[in-house]
Chains A and B, each alone.
Chain A
C-alpha cells in the first residue's frame, strides 16, 4: 500500500543530528516534522563512534563550534532529563614529530585567543596525566581539561524521546528512495513505505549523504570512509583523559563502565560504504595501543566494529542550503567530528529552517566554499 502524506519538513537520518534538529524544531513549536531512519536510531556513525567531545581544533570555526557545543552538552542532562555519561577528563593530544609540535603551538595560541584554556605541555607532563604512558617517542603534547567523552546513545534517544513527546514523527526502518523536485523546489520525499509531500528536506544521512543529495540532483564533495573501533575488558578507573595521536591516527579513552574504547585510522582505507570489521584494524590497534601503553599487552579486546566518516576535502562539515535546490539543508561532511559539534549545528540548522538569522554565522561552511576557493584545512582529525 502506498500512502501519501505531507509534512512541513522531512529530516533524513536518525542520528544525533537528525534527532537533535527535530528536537530543536519541536521546541520552537515546529512539530509537523518526519524523521526517516533506514535502520534503528543511532545505527550509523552516531552510535558507532568513540564519544569524544573535543574543543582542541586548528581552525577558528571548529573551535568556536566545539566550545559552544561543549557548554550545551553540559546542560543537556537537565534539559533532556537523561544521563549522558559526560566525563570531562580532558583530552591529551600527543605530538610525535617536529611538525606536530609547531602546529600544536599554533593551535594552542589560537585556542587560547578564543578563550579555550588548553595548554602546551611536555612529554613528562603528559606522563603525569597518564602514568601508564610510554613517552619514549613523545615530543610534547596539549591538554584541555574540559574536553571529555559522552555515551552517544542516551543523547540520541533523549532527543528522540523529547521530540516525539512534542509530536514529531520519527520512523525507523524506513528507507528514502527518492527526492522529488520541480525546478528549484522540493515536492516530496519517496520512501519504501510511501511518499511524504514536503518543501523542506534536511540531509543528515552521514556516510550516505552524498547519495541522498544526488537524489535531488545535488553533487556533494563528501565521501564515506570506514573507520574502525574496539572495546576492551573493563577495569577500575585508571585513565582520566581521552588520549589521541594524529601521527598514529589513534584515540582511546575509558568509559564510565570501565572499558577502554578506541580506534585507529587506516591511511590506505578505500572510499566506500563498508562497515565490516578488518583484521588490519585488530592487529594494528593492538600493536599501537601496546606501544603507547605497554600494559595493554595483558588486556583483551572484546569487540570491534566499524562506522563511516563522511569526509570532505577540507575535513570540515557542510552546513546550510545549497544553490541548486531551495530549502534543501545540508548537515553532513563532519569528517569524524560530527557528534562533538552537534548541539550548535542542530540549533543553528533549526534556526535556518525557521527562516531566522542563525545565532552563529556558518556561512563559511556552505558547500559553495568548494568552488574555486582556497580551503582552510582542519588538521586535527583522528581515528
Chain B
C-alpha cells in the first residue's frame, strides 16, 4: 500500500501533527487529528471498503460525505458505521464486514435522552445553513445548528477555487475561506453549534430527533431551516461499481479536506463546472488528468475553467462518454465511445484510456428525505435536479414553520445557497419574533441578490424551475 497524503499544495496547507494509530484488521494504521477512518485507510492505499451483497463485488468509497454507505465497516464491534464521516481515534478497532455483517455481539448502554424546546433549528452547516443561522442569531433568535460532520462549511470546505458571483457574496474568495468565515461568524453570533450530530427525522409537529453519539436529543422547534444540500448523481455503464469510480465531490473531499490524492491518473466524466474545477484541483494536487469526457455536444461549465485545463494540456472530448470500466479489483482503465446527436453510440469509435480513477461529475440531486418525512408537498422539477419542495416567496414549505434553503430545494450554486440561507434566516426569525426594519432589509437584499444571480447565463434554468414550485397563500394539492 502506497502513501497517498499530499505533502505540498499550492493553495492548501495540511498541518499534520500528533499522528496516532488505530487497528485495521490486525494492522496498525497511521492517522492524524481531523482525519476520518476512511480517509486514513485510503491514504494507506486501501481500495476495497466493502462488497456487494449478492456477487461480493468489491466496493470503494463513493461520496465521502456519509450519503452513499459504500464505506460501512465494523468499528469497536458496532457494524454499519459510515467510516467516511467517523473521525479516526487512537486505538479504535476497525474491520470490514461486507454488505451483510454478523448480528453484533456487543451491547451498548442505553443512550441518555435530552429533551428541549428551542426557537430555531438549522439542519446542515453548509453555506445555506450557516447563513440562515447567522441572520437568525444576529436578530435575536435562539438558534441551534446541526451537522453530522466534524467540520462546518459543508461542501465549501473542499472548494479551493475562487468564487464568481456577486461581490457581497464573496466573489474572488476561495470556497474554503468562505466556509471558515461563515463558521466563525456563526460562532460569534451566538449560534449553538452541534457537530457530529445526525438529525434522524422529523416528527409532528416541528420536532426533530438527533443522534449525538451517545445521546438521543429531541428538540421541539418553533421554526426549522432545512439546508442539507445535495447528493451526487451516478452514471450507468458496465463495471461502474469498481473501486476507483468516485463522485467528483467525494474526490474533492478526500483531496482538499483530508489531503489525500485519489490515485495517479484520473478520467473525468462530465464537463460542467464541477467536472472542470475538480480536474484543475487534481492537477494542483499533482494528479494527472488523462481526459475529460462530456456526453453533451458542448462544455457545460465556464469557459475560463475549461481554458485553464486546456492550457495544462488536458483534452476535453465533448460528445463522448464511458462505455465501460476495465479492471477486476479496481479501475485499470476505461473504454470510451462517441455519441451521435441522438445520444446513440457511434460504432467504431471505441478507444481505451489508461487510468486508475474514474471521477463522475454528472450533476446533483436535492437531498430531500427529511422533507418527505415531514409531509412537505413535493414536485418533480427537472430544471432543479429532481423532487423539490413547493415553497413560498420566503422559502417556507407547505408544513408551517419549515423552511428550506439551498440545494435541498433545487440545484443551483453556493452564492444562491448563501442568499437563500439569509432569506430563510430572516423569514423564520420574523415568523417567531415578529418583523423589524433590519429583517425586512435582509430579506429585500437577499431576494434582490437571488434575482440578480438568476438573471445570469446559468440562471435561466433554475429560474424556470423555481417558478414551477413557488406558491402563494395555501399550498396547492
A: residues with CB less than 8 A from B are: 132, 233-236, 238-239, 258, 276-279, 282-283, 287, 290, 294-295, 297-300, 304
Please give me the 8 A-B residue pairs with the lowest Cβ-Cβ distance, nearest first.
A298-B104, A279-B203, A238-B103, A297-B108, A233-B80, A235-B103, A294-B107, A298-B78
* A298 contact set on B, CB distance < 8 A: 77-79, 104, 106-108
The reply to whether B204 and A235 form a contact with Cβ atoms under 8 Å apart is no
B110 touches A295 (CB 8 A): no
Q: Given A287-B110, A290-B110: A295 and B203 within 8 A (CB)?
A: no
B107 lies within 8 A of A235 (CB):
no
A contact residues around B80 at 8 Å (CB): 233, 299-300
Q: Chain B residue with minimal CB distance to A305?
A: B373
A-B contact pairs, 8 of them (CB 8 A): A235-B100, A236-B103, A238-B103, A276-B204, A278-B204, A298-B104, A299-B80, A299-B103
User: Is B102 close to A, CB under 8 A?
Assistant: yes
Of the residues B100, B107, B109, B204, contact of A258 by C-beta under 8 Å: B100
Complex contact A295–B107 (CB within 8 A): yes
Contact B203 A236 (CB under 8 A): no
A234 touches B218 (CB 8 A): no
CB neighbours (8 Å) of B79 from chain A are 233, 235, 298-299
Q: Cβ of B375 and Cβ of A276 under 8 Å apart?
A: yes
Complex formed: what's the CA distance from A132 to B203 in Å?
31
- Give 9 new A-B contacts, CB below 8 A, not counting A297-B108, A298-B106: A236-B100, A236-B101, A283-B113, A287-B110, A295-B104, A297-B109, A298-B104, A299-B103, A304-B201
Quick check: B103 and A278 within 8 Å, CB to CB? no
Q: Are A234 and B201 in contact (CB under 8 A)?
A: no
Contacts A276-B375, A278-B204, A282-B201 given; indicate if A299 touches B104 (C-beta within 8 A). Answer: yes
Interface size class of B (residues with CB under 8 A): 20 to 34
Q: Give the most central of A132, A278, A279, A282: most B CB within 10 Å.
A: A279
In the complex the two chains form, is B373's CB within 8 Å of A277's CB? Answer: yes
- Residues from 211 to 225 in B contacting A, C-beta threshold 8 Å: 216, 218
Distance from A322 Cβ to chain B, minimum over Cβ atoms (Å)? 33
B102 lies within 8 A of A279 (CB): no
Q: Give CA–CA (A159, B204) in the complex, Å.
A: 36
Cα-based distance from A236 to B105 in the complex (angstroms): 13
B209 interfacial by beta-carbon distance below 8 Å? yes
- Report the minimal beta-carbon distance from B250 to chain A, rounded to whole angstroms: 21
Task: Tell me the chain B residues, 350-379 only, with Cβ under 8 Å from chain A.
Answer: 373, 375
**Quick check: A279 and B100 within 8 Å, CB to CB?**
no
B207 within 8 A of A: yes
Q: For residue B108, which residues in chain A have a CB less than 8 angstroms away from its CB?
A: 297-298
Q: How far is the CA of A294 from the CA of B209 in the complex (A)?
A: 22
Query: A239 — which chain B residues lie within 8 A by C-beta?
Result: 103
Are B104 and A279 interface neighbours, CB within 8 A?
Answer: no
Of the candidates A236, A278, A279, A297, which one forms a contact with B107 in the assembled complex, judged by CB atoms under 8 Å apart? Answer: A297
Nearest chain A residue, comparing its CB with the CB of B108: A297
Within 8 Å by CB of B102, from A233, A238, A283, A290, lies A238
Contacts of A282 in B (CB 8 A): 200-201, 203, 209
Question: Which residues of B from 83 to 138 have beta carbons under 8 Å from A?
Answer: 99-110, 113
Q: Contacts of A299 on B, CB cut-off 8 Å? A: 79-80, 103-104
Q: Does B103 lie within 8 Å of A132, measured CB to CB?
A: yes
Given contacts A236-B103, A298-B107, contact A279 B207 (CB under 8 A): yes
Q: Which residues of A contact B110 (CB under 8 A)?
A: 287, 290, 297
Q: How far is the CA of A278 from the CA of B373 in the complex (A)?
A: 11
Bound: A234/B104 CA distance, A: 11
List B181-212 residues whose CB lies under 8 Å from chain A: 200-201, 203-204, 207, 209
CA distance A307 to B192 in the complex (A): 37
Scan residues 39-95 of chain B and give those whose CB is less than 8 A from a CB of chain A.
Answer: 53, 77-80
Contacts of A234 in B (CB 8 A): 53, 99-100
* Docked-complex contact B102 and A295, CB < 8 angstroms: no
* In the bound complex, CA of A233 to CA of B113 (Å): 22
Q: Is the CB of A277 within 8 A of B106?
A: no
Chain B residue, CB-CB nearest to A236: B100
Cα–Cα, bound, A332→B110 (Å): 40
Which residues of chain B have C-beta atoms less than 8 A from A276's C-beta?
A: 204, 375
In the complex formed, the residue of B with least CB distance to A280 is B203
Q: How far is the CB of B378 from chain A (nearest CB, A)?
A: 15
Measured CB to CB, the closest approach of chain B to A289, in angstroms, equals 12
Given the contacts A282-B209, A298-B107, A235 and B102 also touching, CB distance less than 8 Å: yes
How far is it, in angstroms, between the C-alpha of A142 and the C-alpha of B109 when the chains are bound?
31
Contact A295 B106 (CB under 8 A): yes
